[in-house]
Structure 1
Amino acid sequence: MPTKSSTTSDTEATAAKSNASENNTATENKSEKDSTMKAGNATVVKSEMKNAPLHKFFVDALKDIYYAEEAIVGALEKMQEAATTEELKDAFEDHQLQTKKHISRLEKVFRSIDETPEKKKCDAIEGIIKEGEEVIKSTKEGTMTRDAALIIAAQKVEHYEIATYGGLVQLAITMGHDKAADLLDKTLQEEEDTDYNLTEIAETYINFEAEQED
């Protein structure tokens, strides 16, 4: 009788181990299946997002401002050379360096939403820059009037950028692109600071001295 009891116990233990092993295997298979389904769903969602009209517009707008920032670098160099006062020359030089950082930051924005950085011609900034070039041609070299006019031309560029980045930040937030939103918002704040600084330079003395010129 003791032998029979021992055999029964061994059989029951073996059966329990077998059931546990089957349960573990089933659980593992279910987890793998769930993971595969989640990965598949994520791929579908990502694909749908990229095909969504708002996402396409967002990417298109990024390409537009990416082109604009590149064009602004060259325009600022011309403005710096044309400016009269050292203060304004320094302001344009600082903004040029800052703009190069904005270009690098935009490239990070593209990558954060799994897009390749690309430029699309921006007719708006081309027009604003052309207007700035006309300001240089139509004002006398070495005058405060030229500096006053250059500040206005530069602020038109700033206001275009502020409007663009402000809208892009809100779109990024809406679509859940949190990293992109943070990066774009940093640039937005810097553009607003630059606009404020240009106003300060103009109102401190340049506008007043320009008013006294013949």
Structure 2
Amino acid sequence: MESLENLHDLFVHELRDLYDAEKQLTQALPLLAKAAKSEKLRRGFETHLAQTKEQAQRLEQIFRGLETSPEGKSCKAMAGLVAEASELLDEDADPEVLDAALIVAAQKVEHYEIAGYGSVSTFARVLKYDDAARLLQQTIDEEERMDKQLTQYASQMNVKAAAADEAAT
């Protein structure tokens, strides 16, 4: 168990949590992409997979700068979010409704990541870890762009999902 005696310790602890979260996402995103019925949503998941791999590499760069290992923490929150998303894949759902559900799952992940990266970015600035702060801000910007993109997808696909409701009645 890690010791959290100072802000640096908490910074490393939270970075390890995010690193594990990104690793879990690299496993989950291909499954979401495969399940997406919308070509646009599928491409969005594939783009996010590439970004997620880059984000993990940025975290590895930060860990090298801190001269510590990224290993040692399991992100239980991401495990839960991934489990929820995986459950959707087993549902008997209308394709448009499934896409809407996948967007919800993806936005939950994005919001978790935005919160986590926002916190560690603040820690980096306070600790004057300028290189880490710069790299973390780059990731925050990507996560916020993906969240906005998912919101745009939702506004389009939720209309299609509603049309599926009307067709069923």
Q: TM-score, normalised by structure 2?
A: 0.92
Q: Where does the alignment leave 5 or more consecutive residues of structure 2 unmatched?
A: none
The residue that corresponds to 1:62 in the other structure is 15
Identify if the C-alpha distance between structure 1 residues 101 and 80 changes in structure 2 by more than 3 Å, giving closer, same or farther: same
The residue that corresponds to 1:105 in the other structure is 58
The residue that corresponds to 1:149 in the other structure is 101
Cα distance in 1 for partners of 2:16, 2:6 equals 15
The residue that corresponds to 1:94 in the other structure is 47
Aligned-residue Cα RMSD (Å) equals: 1.5
Give the letter aligned to residue 25 of structure 2: I
Q: How does 1:63-142 map to 2 (within 5 A)?
A: 63-140=16-93
Cα distance in 1 for partners of 2:111, 2:72 equals 20
Cα distance in 1 for partners of 2:22, 2:4 equals 26
Structure 1 residue 120 displacement after superposition:
1.1
Give the letter aligned to residue 208 of structure 1: V
> Which has the larger Rg?
1
Q: Where does the alignment leave 5 or more consecutive residues of structure 1 unmatched?
A: 1-49
Q: TM-score, normalised by structure 1?
A: 0.73
Structure 1 residue 116 displacement after superposition:
2.4
Number of residue-to-residue matches in the alignment: 163
2:153 aligned residue (171, 183, 201) = 201
Structure 1 stretches (4+) deviating beyond 6 angstroms?
none
8 A contact 1:139–1:145 mirrored in 2: no
Greater RCO (Cα-Cα under 8 Å, separation 6 or more) = 2
